[in-house]
Structure 1
Amino acid sequence: MPAPAYLTQHRNRFLEELIDWLRIPSVSADPKFHGDVLKAADYLKDKLAEAGATNVEICPTAGNPIVYGDYMAGPDRPTVLVYGHYDVQPADPYELWTSPPFEPVIKDEKIYARGACDDKGQVYMHVKALEMMLRAGGGAPCNIKFMFEGEEEIGSNNLGIFVKANKEKLQADVILISDTGILANDVPSIEVGLRGLSYHEVEVTGPNRDLHSGLYGGAVMNPINALCDMISSLHDANRHITIPGFYDKVDELSADERAEMAQAPFSETEFKQSIGLPAAVGEAGYTTPERTSIRPTLDVNGIWGGYTGEGAKTVIASKAYAKISMRLVPHQTSDEITALFQKHFESIAPAGITVKVTPHHGGEPVVTPTNSAAYRAAAKALETTFGKKPVPTRGGGSIPIVAMFKSELGLDSVLLGFGLDSDAIHSPNEHFGVFNFLKGIETIPEFYKEYAAATR
């Protein structure tokens, strides 16, 4: 049976299997879901073996396990290492979901569930692509190694350790990752750049206890007020980040490079409508696509302190907190930006306030080559299945392990993702298009075919 016919015949089964996997709440950030994380790993292991992978195993780490498997087509074939993750973001706030996050439903040809796009749905494309190649395509033209982790959403703390300890096992020619997206279902694209990350939690302390705002208000520094002022000062009127030295190593694109980026289809109106805002706001002098890809940013991801319960409580809190992240671009490094942020944030604390900055996970920005055999293979594969040449783009998100793979394994990555910006990853009502899921299964074998041909 030809591969396209196989995909059509088994379409519903593929979707049902993915839905079964999405029911498992593999939230890595919350210890109460640890058993479910392990259950999700076992499900993936079983399905990878059923698809035809060999040497399938659960590899323990100090945290969540890594699922490994391979298919060896022959010693004369190129080897592709496929990376993905089976852990998912917390689903909170649950009340904003139109259907329960771990009771997947298909509505309007979209699969709604936490992890549907990021990254379970995209991981499962690779599992089913392997099955289709082996059962209907006459075999895979490349050696394929699969490495799926369960800690990506909490910083991949143990992946680097695993990679360093298993370099021979993971030896390959290129890494293939589907944890990104395309511009639109009629505009295929390949991400060739990712931003890095520097993430912090800050704690601001004032008085030694919560105080009555009538007795003490106006006479002491309120930590919540101080925190708001400090955060506000991190941008100027042009939305330029005010941390000294922050932009010193930023890779500034030339006018020609920016003009080339501008060729990618983008509608400012549709962008604003999609998120329900009347205007797009950002760093002066740059377009919205540039602000979300080639420029560094600073955002508050959470802020709290004082009384937040029902009704009123007139209190000046002893402490206030915030979580602050910065997206980085070449040639910034997370260590340098972490140090600059900590020094600056401590320096702007007003009298009567003490500050504690706790760095969390970080990651390095990367730019992947567009002249490699692997990139050309991915471009040809997308052109075959979408009917038009893909656009190279730079993504605004971070996949810190891409830089780690380059430093530890010496391998470049190809970011062959099929999600959309509108898929609401990390948000309530995350979803993944049925079209996108099936198109990924159709395209991945084409990549292997083109890459094998290009490396003969």
Structure 2
Amino acid sequence: MAAKCDAPAETWARINDFVGGKWDAEVVPTLSEYIKVPNLSPMFDPDFATNGLQEKAFALLIDWLKQQPVKGMKYELLEEQGKPPFLCIEIDGTVPTAKTLLMYGHMDKQPPLRPWAEGLDPYEPVIRDGKLYGRAGADDGYAIFASVLSVMALQREGIPHSRVCIIIEADEESGSSSLKGWIEKTKDRLGDVDLVITLDSGSCSYDQLWVTTSLRGVAIVSVECSTLYEGMHSGIAGGVVPDTTRILRHQLDNVEDSRTGDIKVAECHCEIPAAIREGGYASLEKLGFDAFLAQFPFQQGVKAENTTSVADLAIRNFWKPSLTIVGVDGLPSVADGGNVLRQLTRFKLSIRLPPNVDGAVAAKAVAAALERDPPNGVTVKATVMGFANGWASPPISPWLMESLNTGSQQVFQKPAALLGLAGTIPFLGMLGEMFPQAQFVISGVLGPQSNAHGPNEFLHIGFGKGVNGCMARVVADHFVQQPESAKK
């Protein structure tokens, strides 16, 4: 059995009570104020550098931070003209340690994507049935609170911890384009990282800790075509002039089978590891098919893609590519649409990529496929707007797996469960390259129906408290793993 913190059960019960009390008294009220600030990620806000919204949201978080009696803590909000800010928090170890535990979160937001359900709004926090509704409370505003409290709770009980750094960026929803530069600037502060905890992931239920072992990458590509210099009456032009939407539908067939959703571009696929194919998602099988699908708000009668096996669905979701049209230019609303054959249509595509696919290569291949062999002599233009590689976790060390299981048992009375994640956290690949010997704990509160990026996003408050308690356990056990020679 791996070595772990030997604090008794009653100590961990007090830690969980402390965390829960801080959430009720401080975290939820502060998060509610943060939700009110429309600090969109830079990709969605061309004025982010001048409108002060990122700074306003950071000020709320830092005001809370200032009030916390964390021993050995210092912090700095780093700012550069034209870049989103970056918060770096350093907490000294109980005794100095050669290794650093790095915790990550972000505070920028996706667009509001209205309409929301009656009585809800992205920027008006509402607590209903134990859930805090509003944009970015779950993705990922709570992360700074959970990270700091994981350390503070240990200090209150006299449980030692290693040196901890917490970084909070404001660019994640735009692909973390500025993060590498900030990490380079702070690498001396970060030190030699041997464990990374990221609280920006998801779960398949709210009754146990879920740990992500892989993430998909993403390629963002726009594709457009124009057939006229100006729009024309559709009765006069229809049947003579090619419709731009039809042309783009045809070009999408080069990339995706429209009946099955299968992606045809070879560069978007990778070999699926044998360990994944052969029982890699046992936790999901135990969860069951209906429970797995409960996280998706299907309309009545809609069925999942092509299978009744949880394992097959998981592999399709975590290890195969998929395409979504996420933006359209040139199409008026139904209310405003007249009888016009329009001159131009443009789609913005999000292609999710398996963990081991090269995002740059895949994006270029998708763009080439979209431009290939258009009908009617039409010129189709595809532009790579961005890409990010996926990530696959190194094998989890026995001590860490035991710590995750122990924490989950203490909080939820169930062991931890492993899953892949269909979303993207771009910085993980970067940190994996920078700290190749590090272990990773990727977890979070984005569970069934929590709907990050969409309408009616919520943070399950009770689950957030539980995840926070589990992370305190990991921080404590991490210190126990440090060899005496590493404790300076």
TM-score (norm 2): 0.85
* Cα distance in 2 between the residues matched to 1:238 and 1:9: 49
3-state DSSP of counterpart to 1:82: strand
Give the aligned residue type for 1:442: G
Q: Does 1:388 align with 2:414?
A: yes
Structure 1: tracts of 5 or more residues without a match: none
Match 2:305 to one of 276, 282, 302:
282
Quick check: 1:299–1:325 contact (8 Å CA) kept in 2?
A: yes
Give the aligned residue type for 1:430: E
Give the deviation of 1:186 after TM superposition.
2.1
Give the deviation of 1:338 after TM superposition.
0.8
Match 1:424 to one of 434, 451, 454:
451
Quick check: 1:250–1:329 contact (8 Å CA) kept in 2?
A: no
Give the deviation of 1:205 after TM superposition.
1.6
Q: Does 1:405 align with 2:422?
A: no
* Cα distance in 2 between the residues matched to 1:398 and 1:9: 32
Quick check: 2:201–2:444 contact (8 Å CA) kept in 1?
A: yes
Match 1:293 to one of 299, 318, 322:
318
Give the deviation of 1:145 after TM superposition.
0.5
* Cα distance in 1 between the residues matched to 2:176 and 2:291: 36
* Cα distance in 1 between the residues matched to 2:199 and 2:323: 26
* Cα distance in 2 between the residues matched to 1:331 and 1:32: 35
- State the identity %: 21
Match of 1:361 in 2: 386
Q: Does 1:60 align with 2:115?
A: no
* Cα distance in 1 between the residues matched to 2:220 and 2:273: 23
Match of 1:138 in 2: 158
* Cα distance in 2 between the residues matched to 1:443 and 1:121: 15
Match 1:156 to one of 165, 176, 183:
176
3-state DSSP of counterpart to 1:168: helix
Match of 2:405 in 1: 379
Give the deviation of 1:233 after TM superposition.
4.8
More off after superposition, 441-450 vs 364-373: 364-373
* Cα distance in 1 between the residues matched to 2:181 and 2:19: 37
* Cα distance in 2 between the residues matched to 1:174 and 1:270: 29
* Cα distance in 1 between the residues matched to 2:304 and 2:18: 47
Alignment deviations for residues 421-444 of structure 1 (CA, whole Å, 9 cap, x no partner) = 320111111001110121123222
Quick check: 2:104–2:143 contact (8 Å CA) kept in 1?
A: no
* Cα distance in 2 between the residues matched to 1:139 and 1:359: 50
Give the deviation of 1:66 after TM superposition.
0.4
Q: Does 1:86 align with 2:111?
A: no
Match of 1:315 in 2: 340
Match 1:16 to one of 29, 38, 51:
29
Give the aligned residue type for 2:341: I
RMSD: 2.6
Quick check: 1:378–1:416 contact (8 Å CA) kept in 2?
A: no
3-state DSSP of counterpart to 1:263: helix
Give the deviation of 1:333 after TM superposition.
0.8
Give the deviation of 1:187 after TM superposition.
3.5
Quick check: 1:45–1:57 contact (8 Å CA) kept in 2?
A: no
Match of 1:240 in 2: 262
Match of 1:344 in 2: 369
3-state DSSP of counterpart to 2:187: coil
* Cα distance in 2 between the residues matched to 1:285 and 1:229: 30
3-state DSSP of counterpart to 1:119: helix
Give the aligned residue type for 2:31: L
Match of 1:113 in 2: 134
Cα pair distance change 1:30/1:133, threshold 3 Å: same
TM-score (norm 1): 0.91
* Cα distance in 1 between the residues matched to 2:365 and 2:308: 24
3-state DSSP of counterpart to 1:20: helix
* Cα distance in 2 between the residues matched to 1:153 and 1:192: 20
Q: Does 1:50 align with 2:67?
A: yes
Match of 2:38 in 1: 25
Give the aligned residue type for 2:482: T
Structure 2: tracts of 5 or more residues without a match: 1-10, 484-488
Give the deviation of 1:212 after TM superposition.
2.1
Match of 1:7 in 2: 19
Alignment deviations for residues 151-203 of structure 1 (CA, whole Å, 9 cap, x no partner) = 10111111011112332222222211001122212243211111111111212
* Cα distance in 1 between the residues matched to 2:137 and 2:164: 24
Give the deviation of 1:138 after TM superposition.
2.5
Cα pair distance change 1:59/1:231, threshold 3 Å: same
Give the aligned residue type for 1:115: A
Match 1:415 to one of 442, 450, 453:
442
Quick check: 2:40–2:111 contact (8 Å CA) kept in 1?
A: yes
Alignment deviations for residues 284-340 of structure 1 (CA, whole Å, 9 cap, x no partner) = 797322221122212222234244363552211111011111111143110110111
3-state DSSP of counterpart to 1:180: coil
Give the aligned residue type for 1:56: Y
3-state DSSP of counterpart to 2:190: coil
